Structure 1
Amino acid sequence: MDSHTHDVALIGTGSDPDDPDFSGFAMAYHHAEVYQRLENCELVACADIVPENAAAFAETFDIDEGHTYEDYQRLLTEAEPDVVSICVPPAIHADIVVDCARAGSVDAIHCEKPMDLTWGGAQRMAQICWRRDVQLTFNHQRRFKPSWAEARDLVDSGKIGDVERVELAPPNIYDWGTHAIDFVGFVTGDRPAEWVIGQIDYREEQQWFGAHNENQAFGLWEYDDGVQAVISTGVGGSFVPALFRFVGTEGTLDVDPDGESETIRWRQYGDDWEYRAIEEGEWTEPIGDAIEHVVDCLETGAEPELSARKALNTTEIIFGIWESARRRGRVDCPLEIDDNPLHAMVESGALVPEPEPEPESSSE
């Protein structure tokens, strides 16, 4: 595609970015700030089911009032954007992505993570975008986090030999874990899993953006090249002395060891640890880097780092762990389910988490 100005629309503006909540953290504002500074992008429209939110967003980013919508389908028909950023809860990702892909004008869709509330929905939106030649990406922006990117480069350079195993300990599998499992794929070659086995505990209700997340989980999977990964999440501590540990044929590399954020350490067997801390002046803004990359790939035709193909690898592992817990056995890939196993277990009564406590009301 030749370089030109891309008309950009945002669906799901969210509420006041100075007072974010679990309805979206006003991620659209972060997206829009990046598009606004790119010379080849122009913000032309926005939509939110709360008209006041859309109006406030439009005022902030100087979007014409006539292109401010409550109904995103009217936006697609009337504004005819080239690029759409979707910043809504995951339960409606698939429906909106499919509608955008069918709109005719849309060349690229950049959607917040996780992919979708169900495995079937994740596959459906990836398939239609592939069929219609629409670039579909998901905001696993931490691939562009400086410490994570440098860790990948160190592994690629052979500092620890060939990776054989990865150990990781994020807070949960779905909301935060989609970044963590995606990063493992980023470092190990973005390959699909062959099988997954896992177990979860879900005794106290925990929802993020309308989606259930387990309290604690343990899982193991193997990629199609034989590399294995093991994950532990939630309460009860972790067997991993870092957020990530990459174990290779010649050494070990840790990311954020023992709570030291933005730090990498590595050593070959028999040697002392070498450390690399990302300094404040080296920090970049991952969401900005991610969106700039997405727009560049739209123009060059290269597969983005955040492509739907790579996100599907991550999402299959997430739902595979939950499906293994539901089935009480190992699950082979590709998954033969369409639903969300954790939600299904809650809805069937197989899991009965205690309700989340009501938030305390503030007094004037």
Structure 2
Amino acid sequence: MKLEPLRLAVIGCGFFAQNHLRAWRHVRGVRLVAVCDRDEERARAAAATFAVPAVYTDAATLLERERPDFVDIVTTPPSHRELVELAAAHGVAVICQKPAAPTLEDACAMVTACERAGVPYMVHENFRWQPAIRRAREIVATGAIGEPYFGRITFRSRHDVYRDQPYLAADRRFVIADLGVHLLDLARFFFGEPDSLLCAARRVNPRIAGEDAATILLRSPAFACVTDMSYASHQERDLFPQTLIAIEGSEATVVVDADYEVALVRTGRRERIAILPEHRPLAGDAPLRESVLAIQQHWVDCLREGRTPETSGRDNLKTLDLVFGAYQSAETGEAYRPGTLLAASANPSGPSPR
């Protein structure tokens, strides 16, 4: 028996929402029934571009009238908690753009609201769904590199991200919260949970409010992983928006290099595995981002099959704990013990963190 498509509404029609909307047209098993944005002109433009039948400027009205199966929230972080709790109160499942919240307290409250309402909740953490990164993780899982013990995950650029997202220039917490959250999720994706974090961060661009360069060292008895990020780096060739990865093991190293090349490296030789681009050209349209399509299809498949998505709201709390722990480490100059801030945020009046 053919299943009816799930009814979807997108809340937020700004810059990155265009990638979500474009991908939804290629996801199996969904029907986009409405878009919502406080800026009516922007919402109507999105509806016209992506052939969406209904336009709203108020999320509560949308939820009451359309009764979607789920919403995709693609707004800025300060609005996320209110919108997630609103959807949960209406019994509607939620995808929310990263970073999930500006504080761990808000992030915990969002998870609690969805769990109490019995609705699925996932954070749109798409970097791990890039085809090249996915393939590298599969290679590690096969044991082809032996025991992984060291990683470097790098994203350094001077791309003008402020042009399309000017609010980023005003954020007092910038590159770790906006970009580092992706890289920290990747570190967890490849290695699991660290037990120590040390961060150095600085502002290079005097015209912005927050830090635009940071290096974070994650450690456990089994591994060390460096996540390295910058929007201030002069490069001979700027590779934006590519993430470069090297995972070293006892037998070999797997790399994701420039132009999405995945290779297996052993002393004195290199085996190209694949070239797996992130962007797919579309006739008469901007390129489709493969990772956005993949995570959104994953979400729909999980809803259909009753599975917990990889980057569920609860799982993402561990990534956010590393984000806020990185800021604490950068400010104090001391190592952060992962889980400390999360324990305090989840139990503000409970026992002391471990």
User: How would you bin the TM-score normalised by the shorter chain?
Assistant: 0.7 to 0.9
What are the residue-to-residue correspondences of 1:140-179 with 2, within 5 Å?
140-171=125-156, 172-179=175-182
The letter for the 2-side match of 1:196 is L
Q: Which whole-Å CA distance do the structure 2 matches of 1:320 and 1:168 have between them? A: 18
The letter for the 1-side match of 2:219 is E
TM-score using structure 2 length: 0.78
Of 33, 45, 49 in structure 1, the residue corresponding to residue 38 of structure 2 is: 49
Question: Equivalent residue for 2:57?
Answer: 70
Deviations along 1:115-143, one digit per CA (max 9) or x if unpaired, are 22222222221232223222212222232
Shift in Å, 1:175 = 1.9
Question: Equivalent residue for 2:8?
Answer: 8
Instruction: Tell me, yes or no, if the aligned pair for 1:193 and 1:317 is still in contact at 8 Å.
Output: no
Of 115, 130, 133 in structure 1, the residue corresponding to residue 115 of structure 2 is: 130
Deviations along 1:185-207, one digit per CA (max 9) or x if unpaired, are 2222xx33323221211253576
TM-score using structure 1 length: 0.76
With over 3 angstroms needed to count, the CA separation of the structure-2 counterparts of 1:196 and 1:287, relative to structure 1, is same
Q: Which whole-Å CA distance do the structure 1 matches of 2:110 and 2:196 have between them? A: 23
Question: Equivalent residue for 2:74?
Answer: 87
Of 259, 262, 266 in structure 1, the residue corresponding to residue 260 of structure 2 is: 262
How big is the alpha-carbon RMSD for the aligned residues of Structure 1 and Structure 2?
2.8
Instruction: Tell me, yes or no, if the aligned pair for 1:43 and 1:63 is still in contact at 8 Å.
Output: yes
Shift in Å, 1:184 = 2.2
Instruction: Tell me, yes or no, if the aligned pair for 2:26 and 2:293 is still in contact at 8 Å.
Output: no
Count of aligned positions: 309
SS at match of 2:176: coil
The letter for the 1-side match of 2:43 is A
Instruction: Tell me, yes or no, if the aligned pair for 2:131 and 2:277 is still in contact at 8 Å.
Output: no
Shift in Å, 1:80 = 1.6
Shift in Å, 1:278 = 0.9
1:217 paired with 2:214, answer yes
With over 3 angstroms needed to count, the CA separation of the structure-2 counterparts of 1:97 and 1:192, relative to structure 1, is farther
Q: Where does structure 2 lack aligned partners over 5 or more consecutive residues?
A: 157-174, 236-242, 281-288, 346-354
With over 3 angstroms needed to count, the CA separation of the structure-2 counterparts of 1:309 and 1:164, relative to structure 1, is farther
Shift in Å, 1:322 = 0.8
Q: Which whole-Å CA distance do the structure 2 matches of 1:281 and 1:32 have between them? A: 17
1:303 paired with 2:308, answer yes
The letter for the 2-side match of 1:82 is D
State the identity %. Answer: 28
With over 3 angstroms needed to count, the CA separation of the structure-2 counterparts of 1:36 and 1:217, relative to structure 1, is closer
Instruction: Tell me, yes or no, if the aligned pair for 1:173 and 1:213 is still in contact at 8 Å.
Output: no
Q: Which whole-Å CA distance do the structure 2 matches of 1:146 and 1:227 have between them? A: 24
Instruction: Tell me, yes or no, if the aligned pair for 2:74 and 2:97 is still in contact at 8 Å.
Output: yes
With over 3 angstroms needed to count, the CA separation of the structure-2 counterparts of 1:8 and 1:49, relative to structure 1, is same
Q: Which whole-Å CA distance do the structure 1 matches of 2:229 and 2:290 have between them? A: 26
Question: Equivalent residue for 1:359?
Answer: none
Deviations along 1:134-173, one digit per CA (max 9) or x if unpaired, are 2212222232222111111111111211111212222343
The letter for the 2-side match of 1:182 is D
SS at match of 2:196: strand
Instruction: Tell me, yes or no, if the aligned pair for 1:206 and 1:215 is still in contact at 8 Å.
Output: no
1:226 paired with 2:213, answer no
Instruction: Tell me, yes or no, if the aligned pair for 1:220 and 1:231 is still in contact at 8 Å.
Output: yes
Instruction: Tell me, yes or no, if the aligned pair for 1:3 and 1:299 is still in contact at 8 Å.
Output: no
Q: Where does structure 1 lack aligned partners over 5 or more consecutive residues?
A: 15-24, 340-364
The letter for the 2-side match of 1:215 is D
Of 310, 333, 337 in structure 2, the residue corresponding to residue 332 of structure 1 is: 337
The letter for the 1-side match of 2:178 is D
Instruction: Tell me, yes or no, if the aligned pair for 2:154 and 2:228 is still in contact at 8 Å.
Output: yes
With over 3 angstroms needed to count, the CA separation of the structure-2 counterparts of 1:206 and 1:175, relative to structure 1, is farther
SS at match of 2:33: strand
Moved more, 46-55 or 28-37: 28-37
Shift in Å, 1:213 = 4.7
Question: Equivalent residue for 1:346?
Answer: none
Of 182, 186, 193 in structure 2, the residue corresponding to residue 183 of structure 1 is: 186
Shift in Å, 1:3 = 4.3
The letter for the 2-side match of 1:298 is L
Q: Which whole-Å CA distance do the structure 2 matches of 1:336 and 1:158 have between them? A: 34
Shift in Å, 1:271 = 4.8
The letter for the 2-side match of 1:307 is S
Question: Equivalent residue for 2:23?
Answer: 34
Q: Which whole-Å CA distance do the structure 2 matches of 1:307 and 1:300 have between them? A: 15
With over 3 angstroms needed to count, the CA separation of the structure-2 counterparts of 1:280 and 1:250, relative to structure 1, is closer
